[in-house]
């Protein structure tokens, strides 16, 4: 077990599935007490049971993070049951893949992605800030996407909510960094989980496994870097800073071609 997480308490949202469930198991293996948040109680309980069998310590908190009252009750329990909370991992999210021209009558797509991905995370973070300040330390991690590093089509509602959360997280660091509050933005590439599984053509796309992606969250909690990114994501950010017009124009045909190739491969897989 890593000494760096022994005695640490980590609150992790989206712990019932995908990257969050794998990260919960790994954080617990490294000595952290993990507080598992998501809506589905049975799935949370199954992750908790795995952790307990492996000798770890986990606690479940079933909550819909879009619901202010439910979240308030869970926050009260978290604060009462854990005298120290060392890290919050804002990982719960929903994704929507839809062209903007097909979204013109779907304002609710933008509202429901913001409800979980942005307001849900902000609500929880704000509630824990006083505890972090009182302790003199606290680390906030957010699960974001490589797709906020470059202009990507078809995910406008989802990516806007992730960019908003990144911005909030940067403000947190700028305002409270000297009070001991640190932050990490994790820019995941595509990861094979129920979220990415919602898009048929992505079956043919090479992706990180949830197990490997979970290591990125563990690194964020253990090392507390400002960000965790792929090399491609970092290179894309530099290119965007230097020549945004060229990158944006160059990527448009590249994404159309990629979608055509993936659709062909997915169709071939089905036959």
Ligand X SMILES: NC(=O)c1ccc[n+]([C@@H]2O[C@H](COP(=O)([O-])OP(=O)(O)OC[C@H]3O[C@@H](n4cnc5c(N)ncnc54)[C@H](OP(=O)(O)O)[C@@H]3O)[C@@H](O)[C@H]2O)c1
- DSSP 3-state of 124: helix
Q: Which is nearer to ligand X, 133 or 262 (CB)?
A: 262
DSSP designation for 219: H
CB of 3 to ligand X, least distance (A): 27
CB of 86 to ligand X, least distance (A): 20
- 158 flagged as catalytic: yes
Q: Which is nearer to ligand X, 133 or 266 (CB)?
A: 266
Asked if 196 contacts 190 with a C-beta cutoff of 8 angstroms, the reply is yes
End-to-end CA separation in angstroms for the chain: 47
Q: Which is nearer to ligand X, 20 or 56 (CB)?
A: 20
- What's phi and psi for 104, nearest 5 deg? -65, -30
Distance (Å, whole) CA 25 – CA 141: 17
Closest by CA to 165, choosing from 240, 93, 234, is 93
CB of 271 to ligand X, least distance (A): 26
CB of 10 to ligand X, least distance (A): 15
Cβ-proximal residue to ligand X, closest one? 18
Closest by CA to 35, choosing from 3, 72, 68, 8, is 8
Residue 76: both structure tokens together: 């009260």
- Of the listed 61, 118, 158, 202, which one is catalytic? 158
Q: Which is nearer to ligand X, 133 or 190 (CB)?
A: 190
Q: Which residues bind ligand X (CB under 6 A)?
A: 13-14, 16-20, 38-40, 43, 63-66, 91-95, 116, 143, 145, 188, 190-191, 193-196
Active-site residue set: 158
């Amino acid at each position: 077990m890593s000494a760096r997480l022994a005695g640490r308490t980590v609150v992790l949202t989206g712990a019932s599935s995908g990257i969050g469930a794998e990260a919960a198991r790994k954080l617990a293996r490294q000595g952290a007490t993990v507080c598992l948040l998501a809506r589905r109680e049975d799935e949370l309980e199954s992750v908790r049971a795995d952790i307990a069998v492996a000798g770890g310590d986990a606690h479940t908190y079933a909550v819909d993070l879009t619901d202010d009252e439910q979240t308030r009750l869970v926050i009260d329990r978290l604060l009462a049951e854990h005298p120290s909370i060392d890290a919050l991992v804002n990982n719960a999210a929903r994704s929507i893949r839809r062209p903007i021209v097909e979204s013109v009558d779907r304002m609710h797509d933008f509202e429901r992605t913001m409800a979980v991905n942005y307001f849900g995370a902000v609500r929880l973070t704000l509630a824990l800030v006083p505890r972090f300040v009182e302790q003199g330390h606290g680390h906030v991690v957010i699960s974001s996407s490589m797709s906020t590093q470059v202009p990507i089509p078809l995910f406008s509602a989802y990516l806007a909510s992730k960019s908003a959360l990144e911005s909030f997280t940067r403000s947190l660091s700028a305002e409270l960094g000297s009070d001991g509050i640190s932050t990490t933005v994790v820019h995941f590439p595509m990861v094979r989980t129920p979220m990415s599984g919602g898009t048929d053509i992505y079956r043919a796309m090479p992706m990180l496994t949830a197990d490997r992606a979970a290591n990125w969250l563990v690194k964020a909690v253990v090392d507390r870097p400002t960000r965790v990114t792929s090399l491609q994501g970092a290179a894309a950010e530099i290119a965007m800073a230097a020549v945004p017009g060229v990158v944006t124009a160059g990527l448009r045909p590249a994404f159309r071609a990629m979608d055509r190739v993936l659709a062909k491969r997915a169709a071939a897989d089905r036959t």
